[in-house]
């Protein structure tokens, strides 16, 4: 349907048609990044799930490959569901995935490349003895899925985690194995949090306390923290927590129990789900893939013939300055798409004003911005007892002493359509500042069958720091990163007027008591090559 074709993205990974969901088994092999994904080859809605497959040299330009695995066995007849790759020390690849059986029981299956010499890993062999794991006693047959990448134990075994729930407690079950065929269930879970419900797509990985580079999944030691991530089926968000992994007792403990998995930090405060990291040994970094769903109607998806994207892969590392959150940042390769840049230096944005930025078409952009406020205003502003929340505090049109201020992206000339991405600062009763980072979708589209929520959360801003922002705009997706990636917000928007040459960017300042000084660099972004598999006869 050409009517909605402007919504297709230009540098985000998406199949040519139909439905995609979770990232699966990402890995780097013989010079290629491999990406597998949950895919419905038959329709633009979830169902008939198989594994799509694509390869890339740089995580940005992609070549689609034939389906890697289809539902052709009794143990995956109702779906080849989510799984993860483990690269063994000898270079062999182990793929573990969930199958929904002919009776819709969730089991774990083993697969491996049919030809390890093929850098494209086109053919996959399912192990003849599948399934290798069935739901253990006490676990519902529909609550046992999404095996992680394995990590090595000091006993010389491999350990994996599988998400589940016990009552309303979300849990990360763990198993040890020597051969990926026989497994021993640990009597206690790696971790669990009451009230969080089913944990989908558990992820578990180390981050360095000292270095910026990423760690291989089995790395451990005194300078290492461990992250547990769960995708909460009940509220459809990815939550993580940072903590300590006690290898011998196979237990993980959060640093701060008040922000445990599922009740504290999220990777992203917009749409971002079922994510998975992998260790990229090629560049020594940990890379995060996340599924970005649609927020329009299912009918609209069916009309346009496709649904869902993947976020630009993000490097993840521990924030050494705060020690209490991760930093997420688009992989550096995306910067190779940057074309012409425009710089705007120290633009004054007065209280209650909107300033247009002179750009050409503003549908494919990489925006880097920093904002400073009046020091005097910060001092003089009265302390407030307001309980601010992005979601409920009336969005970007709300006016308060120190915010909101930021950018309007995918906006048309009349500002009838606009998506504000902004900061909001609250001066608390003890004179301390608390900063929020939000995206307001309430005026993002003239269409009425789309989500118009306001997203966002608190973002740590340390003494002496400016307010910094990075935004990737790609037709119908806005990925925003505040303070170097401490808080991120991804949003799907469906402008009807702010498209192609009619899309603009503005600065805005709805603060009452302070000027905002903005400095920005904005690049036009090239499209990525995302090529179909050549049909060779």
Residues contributing to the site for ligand DQQ (CB under 6 A): 21-22, 38, 49, 81-82, 98, 145-146, 200-201, 231, 274
Secondary structure element (H or E) that encloses residue 460, with its range: none
Contact status, residue 244 vs residue 225, Cβ threshold 8 Å = yes
> Minimal CA–CA distance to 405: which of 311, 514, 523?
514
Question: For residue 128, how many C-alpha atoms fall within 13 Å in the half-sphere facing its CB?
Answer: 1
Q: How far apart are the C-alpha atoms of 335 and 400, rounded to whole Å?
A: 36
Give the list of residues 6+ apart from residue 115 with CB closer than 8 angstroms, or none.
121, 122, 123
CB atoms < 10 A from the CB of 374, how many? 17
* 133 secondary structure, DSSP code: B
> Smallest distance from the beta carbon of 231 to ligand DQQ, in angstroms?
6
What is the rounded distance in angstroms from the CA atom of residue 209 to the CA atom of residue 163? 27
Residue 514 vs residues 18, 271, 371, 425, 508: alpha-carbon distances, Å: 48, 32, 12, 11, 12
Nearest CB to ligand DQQ, comparing residues 165 and 314: 165
Q: Which of 22, 203, 301, 440 is catalytic?
A: 22
Question: What is the b/e burial string over 498-532, where b = at least 16 CB atoms within 10 angstroms of the residue's CB?
Answer: bbeebbbbbbbbbbebbbbbbbbebbbbeebebee
Work out the number of other CB atoms within 10 angstroms of the CB of residue 536.
Answer: 4
Q: CB neighbours of 221 closer than 8 A, spacing ≥ 6?
A: none
- Rounded CA separation 492/502 (Å): 18
Minimum gap (Å) between residue 79 Cβ and ligand DQQ = 6
Pick 298 or 376: Cβ nearer ligand DQQ: 298
Q: How far is CA 206 from the centre of its chain?
A: 18
End-to-end CA distance of the chain: 29
Question: Least separation, in Å, of the C-beta of 103 and ligand DQQ?
Answer: 17
Q: Are 29 and 121 in contact (CB under 8 A)?
A: yes
Smaller CB distance to ligand DQQ: residue 206 or 290?
290
Closest to ligand DQQ by CB, 200 vs 260, is: 200
State how far the Cα of 403 lies from the Cα of 512, in Å rounded to an integer: 7
**Least Å distance between CB 502 and ligand DQQ?**
35
Smallest separation, CB 81 to ligand DQQ (Å): 3
- H helices of 87-193, in order, are none
For tokens 């992998």, what's the residue?
278
- Measured from the CB atom, the residue of 48 and 374 that comes closer to ligand DQQ is 48
Q: How far is the CB of 448 from ligand DQQ (least distance, A)?
A: 27
Give catalytic status of residue 246 as yes or no: no
Specify the residue, 40 or 208, whose C-beta has the smaller distance to ligand DQQ.
40
State in angstroms the smallest separation of the CB of 273 from ligand DQQ.
6
Are the beta carbons of 370 and 395 closer than 8 angstroms? no
Give the nearer residue to ligand DQQ in terms of CB position, either 169 or 517.
169
- For the CA atoms of 474, 477, 481, 482, the dihedral, rounded to the nearest 10 degrees, stands at 110
| Nearer to ligand DQQ (CB atom), residue 38 or residue 483 | 38
> Least distance (Å) from ligand DQQ to the CB of residue 45?
12
- Catalytic residue numbers read 22
């Amino acid at each position: 349907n050409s009517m909605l074709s402007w919504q297709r993205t230009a540098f985000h990974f998406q199949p040519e048609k139909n439905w995609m969901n979770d990232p699966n088994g990402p890995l780097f092999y013989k010079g290629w990044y491999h990406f597998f994904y949950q895919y419905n080859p038959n329709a633009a809605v979830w169902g008939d799930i198989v594994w799509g497959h694509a390869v890339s040299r740089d995580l940005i330009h992609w070549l689609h490959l034939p389906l890697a695995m289809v539902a052709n066995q009794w143990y995956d007849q109702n779906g080849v569901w989510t799984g993860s790759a483990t690269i063994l020390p000898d270079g062999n690849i182990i793929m573990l995935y969930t199958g929904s059986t002919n009776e819709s029981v969730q089991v774990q299956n083993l697969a491996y490349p049919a030809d390890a010499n093929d850098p494209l890993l086109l053919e996959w062999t399912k192990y003849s003895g599948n399934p290798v794991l069935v739901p253990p006693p006490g676990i519902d047959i529909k609550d046992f899925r999404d095996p992680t990448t394995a990590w090595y134990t000091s006993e010389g075994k491999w350990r994996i985690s599988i998400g589940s729930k016990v009552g309303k407690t979300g849990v990360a079950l763990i198993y040890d194995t020597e051969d990926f065929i026989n497994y021993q269930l640990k009597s206690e879970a790696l971790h669990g949090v009451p009230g969080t419900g089913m944990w989908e797509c558990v992820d578990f990985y180390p981050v360095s306390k000292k270095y910026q580079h990423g760690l291989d999944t089995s790395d451990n030691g005194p300078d290492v923290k461990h992250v547990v991530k769960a995708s909460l089926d009940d509220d459809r968000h990815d939550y993580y927590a940072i903590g300590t992994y006690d290898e011998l007792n196979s237990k993980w403990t959060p640093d701060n129990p008040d922000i445990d998995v599922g009740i504290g930090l999220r990777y992203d405060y917009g749409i971002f789900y079922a994510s998975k990291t992998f260790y990229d040994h090629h560049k020594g970094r940990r890379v995060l893939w996340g599924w970005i769903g649609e927020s329009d109607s299912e009918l609209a998806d069916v009309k346009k013939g496709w649904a869902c994207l993947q976020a630009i892969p993000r490097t993840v590392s521990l924030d050494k300055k705060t020690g209490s959150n991760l930093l997420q940042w688009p992989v550096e390769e995306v910067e190779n798409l940057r074309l012409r840049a425009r710089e705007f230096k120290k633009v004054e944005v007065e209280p209650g004003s909107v300033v247009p930025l002179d750009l050409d078409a503003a549908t494919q952009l990489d925006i880097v911005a920093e904002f400073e406020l009046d020091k005097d205003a910060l001092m003089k502003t009265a302390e407030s007892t307001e309980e601010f929340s992005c979601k409920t505090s009336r969005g970007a049109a709300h006016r308060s002493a120190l915010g909101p201020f930021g950018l309007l992206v995918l906006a048309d000339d009349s500002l009838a359509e606009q998506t504000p991405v902004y900061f909001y600062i609250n001066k608390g009763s003890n004179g301390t500042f608390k900063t929020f980072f939000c995206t307001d979708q309430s005026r993002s589209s003239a269409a009425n069958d789309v989500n118009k929520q306001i997203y966002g959360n608190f973002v740590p801003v340390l003494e002496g720091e400016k307010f910094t922002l990075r935004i990737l705009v790609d037709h119908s997706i806005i990925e925003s990163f505040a303070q170097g990636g401490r808080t991120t917000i991804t949003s799907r928007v469906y402008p009807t007027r702010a498209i192609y040459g009619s899309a603009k960017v503005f600065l805005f300042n709805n603060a009452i008591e302070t000027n905002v000084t903005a400095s920005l660099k904005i690049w036009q972004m090239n499209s990525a090559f995302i090529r179909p598999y050549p049909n060779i006869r």
